[in-house]
Amino acid sequence: MRMVLAAILAIAPVVSVQGAPAATSENPLLRLSTLPYHIPPFDRIRVTDYAPAFDAAMRGQLREVAAIAHDPRPPDFQNTIVALDRSGQLLLRVGFLFDELNSNNTSPEMQAIDTEYAVKRSAHKDAVYLDRALWRRLDAVYAKRATLKLNPESRQLLSRWHARFVRAGARLGAADQARLRDLNAKIAALTTRFGQNLLKATAAGAVAVDKVADLDGLSAAQVSAAAEAAQARGLKGQWLIPLENTTQQAVLSQLTNRALRERIYRASVQRCLGGDADNTGVLTDIVRVRAERAALLGYPSHAAYMIEDESAGTPAAARDLLTQAVPAAVGRAHAEAAELQKAIDAQAAAHGTPGFALQPWDWAFYSEAVRKARYDFDAGEVAPYFELNHVVQDGVFYAAHELYGLTFKERKDLPVYRPEVRVFEVFDADGKGLALFIADYFARDNKQGGAWMSAYMEQSRLLGLKAVVSNNLNIPKPEPGQPVFLSFDEVTSLFHEFGHALHGMLSDVEYPSLSGAETPPDFVEYPSQYNEMWAREPQVVAHFAHHYETGAPMPPQLMAKVLAAQQFNAGYATTEYLAAALLDLSWYSLTAAQVPAPADVSAFENAALKTAGVDYALVPPRYHSAYFHHIFDDDYSAGYYAYFWSEVFARDTGAWLHAHGGLTRANGDYLRKTVLSRGRTAEPMELFKNFYGRGPEIGPLLEYRGLAGGG
């Protein structure tokens, strides 16, 4: 569910075509693409193009920055702040492209470039933000901000640039800045290593199966996908179950073979613990170095440093919101476990077989069995109504049309980096081209796990640019010619990630560094989580949920059971998330001296979960530390709480929309005007209050999750 944007958007140097070095070779990265919307020429890009492009782009931005810093004219808003926002366009473009393709289509060669250039890019960013002459000019403009008569968006741009420089260490002395550069380089190297270890361990952890009978419970399409995955690795006569990024694995809800369920679960939780992909030492080093950097910058912890710039403001505020939900979630999880144990005991009695105590690898299977018995349906009955193309075209795109007037046309004339990737041109209600949307939905070994949105190009009126955004999921790819059936969770993920895409595509701002999803993690998840609501809206469901073969609409009573069942396992789902989010805050609330040794990572986890009240062995954290990509190799360090914080905004928004007529253009246009088009042209809480009319309320979220009234 994460959203990827290059260069940790809130603090990255951003953007301009002007001043970029002239192309001196046939390297396609050294010039702005002439394709529609400046989509990258994927078919012409070679791995060997990246290093020279990074080098040229960094040199070019340093020339741009030097020109700003040593401009003989007195510093003003245009020649300093706007000039900064124009700078580094080539570097931003190359970085967006490389980071995205390294996430979804990597290779050993790209990983080698990532290892080398992570440190170089960190040093380059420091060269910009720690330039004393540049800082003096920026600070001088900021000092006279009250007299500049700027419009609100321009005032926000000035404030954001000033905050970025302060947070990057511009006020430190020379010795401390030298230390900061060293710490930033270490963090860049360590986080890159963590991600590469995780990719390697996840691929290596895939579980091979010798007998097709052991896959009992999976659909024919899933068995076919497992055969395809094994064949892709040269495993003849076998079936392969690749690992997903989370602790629990979706197939555990279906496999009848308990021993195989345990194998898969243990392969998941043992990732990056030992061997050549061991992440325990890497993650403790990351925590220590980030704590040292926070102290150098004047903060008690990395969590305090990170959350200061987000809408929560403080780690205490983030933790308080999470802990409000702990009693209801954990209480419900215990009740769910008792019900599952009854199901296990009843099955054993009915078959005259020995019973056993519920284990983590049993939870999903027996939860599905109880769900089926209670709601009288199973996943196989529902799946034919959730065919991928129907869900995308007749669900995701349909809701966007009804709300915002958008239409979509597939562009098969534009280049892609994999044959299964699709490109759509997006048109606004007036028929004008708005953006390009790239859909990359299938799992593969060289693709990072999970689901995310990325931007190849961000909208800006200043630069005359429109958005090019992508959605990435990890749906198992079937054999050629076979349909792709989705679970309802996967349907929800499609709507979720498209909410991120809408945030980028509907952006209508002047300045690139305030564009689209250039918001803190605890607000950037708001549009995506809000957009999930349309996956269950009767009008939208009626439009996309048709049987793949017969075309018959999904019976309303069946969909009602699906939706009712979504709250069935709410205790488990909320507890596993809260455990991960509170674990994240625990790691990043440490000082450098408090960081445990690598051998004590598990002990630290256990103690942190116990302190937070979420230490329930049957409900492990959604991510254990060694494979917690979000916080050790992504933008969400001390920020995994963002999903819950943002979901409060999202569910309040859903309640408001239902109270005002639901799926209507008037509602969509109002949300677009007040939130989705605004990027970070105002602070997140201000944007939300402008839409909602008051501050956020947790009630609608608890009701949505089935936890209202304590569960």
- What residue type is 619 in one-letter code? V
Ranges of H-type helices in 473-597: 488-505, 521-531, 538-544, 556-566, 570-588
Q: What does DSSP say about strands 467-475 and 433-442: parallel, antiparallel, or unpaired?
A: parallel
H/E element holding 299?
none
Q: Residues 6 or more apart from 494 whose CB is under 8 A from it?
A: 391, 392, 395, 396, 471, 473, 486, 535
Q: What's the chain's Rg over C-alpha atoms?
A: 25
Q: How far apart are CA 289 and CA 590, in angstroms?
A: 11
Q: How far apart are CA 394 and CA 60, in angstroms?
A: 45
Q: How far apart are CA 138 and CA 60, in angstroms?
A: 20
SS3 473: strand
Reply yes or no on whether 686 is catalytic.
no
Task: Burial-class residue 150 by CB neighbours within 10 Å (0-12, 13-18, 19+).
Answer: middle
Q: How far apart are CA 408 and CA 400, in angstroms?
A: 10
Q: Are 145 and 158 a contacting pair, CB within 8 Å?
A: yes
- Which residue from 563, 512, 683 is spatially nearest to 9, judged by alpha carbons? 512
- Between 315-351 and 570-588, two packed helices, what is the crossing angle to 10 degrees? 140
- What residue type is 35 in one-letter code? L
Task: Burial-class residue 436 by CB neighbours within 10 Å (0-12, 13-18, 19+).
Answer: buried
The two tokens of residue 628 are: 């917690």
* Residue environment code for 339-358, b if the CB has 16+ CB neighbours within 10 A, otherwise e: ebbebbeeeeeeeeeeeeeb
Question: What DSSP assignment string belongs to 58-122?
Answer: HHHHHHHHHHHHT-SSPP-IIIIIIHHHHTTHHHHHHHHHHHHHHHHS--HHHHHHHHHHHHHHH
Terminal alpha carbon distance of the chain: 25
Vertex 163: Cα angle to 162 and 167 (nearest 5): 120
Catalytic position from the list 244, 368, 497, 537: 497
Q: How far apart are CA 496 and CA 509, in angstroms?
A: 23
Q: Are 98 and 50 a contacting pair, CB within 8 Å?
A: yes
Q: Among positive and negative, which fits the CA dihedral 139, 143, 147, 152? A: positive
Measured in whole angstroms, the distance separating CA 473 from the mean position of its chain's CA atoms is: 10
How many other CB atoms are there within 10 angstroms of residue 382's CB atom? Answer: 21
The two tokens of residue 455 are: 């931007």
Residues serving a catalytic function are 497
